[in-house]
Chain A
Amino acid sequence: MKRSIPLAICLVMGVAMMIQFFIPHPISVGFYDLTTKWIRIVGAFALVLGTGSLILYHVDKLQRRRQGWYYSIVTLVAAAATAVIGLGWGVKTGSPLQDVIFSNLLVPLNASMFAILAFYMASAAYRAFRARTREAALLLVAAFIVMLGMVPVGRAIWGKLPELAEWVLSVPNMAAKRAILFGIALGAIATSLKVILGIERGWLGGGKQ
């Protein structure tokens, strides 16, 4: 029962959603909208479990004084403050949650993390472009052409360089990308089919009962 009911629900819903894709009738569209709402509702319940996990994890870390325990204080205080401000002043535009926590804290912090990517790119590029193997040398040459072709100095060096860069991107690069995409699409369909038919049961916990 523990597995057969989820498997049956998965089969029925999987087949229903497949059929829905081919039916434009309002009943079919309504069914699709309804199921997407259900996903959101299930997500809301799971978020409660997630928040519980977050709190328990950090409380435990704090109690056991594990490495970096003081960061847990920041997490717990921030979570509590956000909840209190959100419940007390609401979440609308102009509220402290929107103006202070979201616009003045969360957005700049996110932007800072994103900005770090530039440095990581530089270090990754340095490692990747060391021409130790034939493939790495090929990568280096291709990257050199594309990067130089994208900046004005590239055209100044050789007028045909931007065209060559465009060709690298739109012919060999695109061909490889499409080959990978074909594989991804078929793999995704096969995985879906295996899940729907109950052949792939890993998501149930790996059991076979």
Chain B
Amino acid sequence: MIPFLILLLAAGQVAPPADTAPPALQLAPPGDIRAFDTPNDAGKSITVRWQAGPGATPETWLVERTGPPESTQVIATTEPADTRCLDEGAADGTKYVYRIAAVAGKDTIWSQPSPPVACSPQVFNTARLNILIAMAIFFALVIYYIETAKKGKSLFVRRIAGLDAVEEAVGRATEMGKPIIYVPGLGSVADIATIASLNILGEVAKKVAQYDSALLVPNRDAIVYTVAREMVKESYAKAGRPDAFKADSVFFVTDQQFAYAAAVDGLMVREKPATNFFLGTFWAESLILAETGATTGAIQIAGTDSIFQLPFFITACDYTLIGEELYAASAYLSREPLLLGSLKGQDYGKMIILTVVIVGSALLLLSKIPSLAFFDQILGFFSVN
């Protein structure tokens, strides 16, 4: 019987017994070790990449660095799926050699060393070239339309209801003999929305001075407070009424978000203002402010670039400047040709973006066709790093 079975096995007609395990895969050294200076950085960094060998999957990878001849050390341990390592402890200008080890149980098998590599800082971030080009195009457009405006060409700007209402809101406060509260947002002076808000404050303060109304400007940021005070003072002077400026009409409250909200709420409830302006950067306190203002019966004009707060303002305020309208406000109110020219440049910038979005979407769809896969590379140019 046994010789018969041996014969059958030899002929390949009978499978081997089920409990016979297939031969275990041997651990193989990783290959294609590539070490290179990490691109677009401030130096002191080398990127190492490798490919897993054809054998068994290791439990972990070890990355070994040999620097100046006497210094060899393991600099990182990575997971089996992670075949990339960033060495951020390298010195600029020093040549290093890297080896990778595959580790499984007690077995450790090392790769061939990489070619020597040195790192250095870069002077231009090539990954941001696309941003530079886009910026140059946009700047050129804005400057072109500013120059066009300088030559006296009239530029059409669509109506913005919230800004048309400023005059009416200030007039209403004068008739009612009640103050206007202007909240320049909770952002710092480094926020563009705060700068835009301060520009609008200047125009509003001028109208307030002309109409002889009262203005209250509570501030959350100390630097914004100092700028706002100077702006209001200058606006009163420009309106020919420097004597009407009251130094305590612009004041600092606190830099605590909700303490500030509580203070402004209290101010609104006590003073019962005719008009509230909420223009600038806002966070979770936006609705607390706007709802309290609504209960006092004031006309409310809000504007922010904080996209999550816009629905709250739209709900609780009479007029809301949405995003870019906030930035356009000072040009709209002052009607200065130079400022209006920049608005035109913005509009053409948006048209270019719209075109790029449509073309990009088409390319993305077409890149799914295998023969047109190279469109992916074109799209890669638009990714931002």
Contacts and interface: CB of A to CB of B under 8 A. Distances in A.
Contact of A50 (B135, B252, B262, B314): B252
Given A182-B353, A200-B199, A200-B330, A206 B235 contact: yes
Interface stretch (B50-58, B221-229, B375-383): B221-229
A43 B221 CA distance: 9
A183 B339 contact: no
Interface string A18-58: 10011111101100000000010011001101110110110
A195 B125 contact: no
Contacts of B312: 124
A180 B322 contact: yes
Contacts of A194: 142, 339, 342
A168 B312 CA distance: 19
A187 interface: yes
B153 interface: no
Query: Which of A42, A47, A116, A186 neighbours the largest number of chain B CB atoms within 10 Å of its CB?
Result: A186
B316 A124 contact: yes
A25 B251 CA distance: 42
A181 B310 CA distance: 12
A121 B338 contact: no
Contacts of A193: 139, 142, 342
B118 interface: no
A127 interface: yes
Contacts of A192: 192
Contact of B43 (A26, A67, A187, A195): A26
Contacts of B259: 106, 109-110, 113
A180 B225 contact: no
Contacts of A158: none
A199 B226 contact: no
B266 A71 contact: yes
Nearest to A106: B256
Contacts, number: 203
B323 interface: yes
B152 to A, nearest CB: 16
Interface stretch (B59-67, B93-101, B343-351): B343-351
B270 interface: yes
Contacts of B305: 184, 187-188
B132 to A, nearest CB: 6
B258 interface: yes
A100 to B, nearest CB: 16
B342 A50 contact: no
A75 to B, nearest CB: 9
B230 interface: yes
Interface stretch (B7-15, B76-84, B284-292, B359-367): B284-292
Interface in B310-348: 310, 312, 314-316, 322-324, 326-328, 330, 338-339, 342-343, 345-346
Q: Which of B271, B343, B350 has the largest number of chain A CB atoms within 10 A?
A: B350
Nearest to A189: B138
Interface in B232-251: 233-235, 238, 248, 251
A49 B258 contact: no
Interface string A111-149: 001101100110111011000000000000000000000
A203 B123 contact: no
Which of B234, B251, B322 has the most chain A CB within a 10 Å cutoff?
A: B251
7 contacts: A25-B43, A47-B222, A50-B219, A124-B312, A187-B196, A190-B342, A206-B234
Q: What 8 pairs between A and B have smallest CB-CB spacing? A: A205-B234, A50-B222, A202-B199, A187-B327, A187-B324, A113-B258, A183-B324, A50-B252
Given A109-B259, A206-B238, 10 more contacts: A22-B128, A26-B43, A42-B223, A49-B222, A113-B258, A117-B287, A187-B346, A199-B339, A203-B199, A206-B235
